[in-house]
Amino acid sequence: MIRKLKTGEYRLYSRKKNTKTGKRRNLGTFSTRKAAEAHEKAVQYFKHH
C-alpha cells in the first residue's frame, strides 16, 4: 500500500494492520512512486519464495 506524504515522498506500508497497534508497518520511504512500486514488487516476491 503506497501513500504520498506531505513532503512529496512516497511511503510503502504493509497491506495488513498490526492487531496490537491497529497500524500498518512502514516498509520504506521513497522519493518516487515508481521506486516504491518496484520495492513493493520485491517484497511480494520475497514473501512467496
- Write the pLDDT tens digit of every residue in 31-40: 999 999 999 9
User: What confidence category does residue 42 fall into, taking pLDDT thresholds of 50, 70 and 90?
Assistant: very high
What pLDDT shows up at residue 27? 96
Instruction: Determine the 3-state secondary structure of 38 from DSSP.
Output: helix
| Per-residue confidence (pLDDT) for residue 46, from 0 to 100 | 95
Q: 17 vs 9, 42, 49, CA distance in Å? A: 21, 20, 22
Q: Are strands 2-4 and 24-30 parallel, antiparallel or unpaired?
A: unpaired
Handedness of CA 1, 9, 21, 27 (dihedral sign): positive
pLDDT band at 18 (very low <50, low <70, confident <90, very high): very high
Average pLDDT score, the chain:
96
Span 16-25, average pLDDT: 96
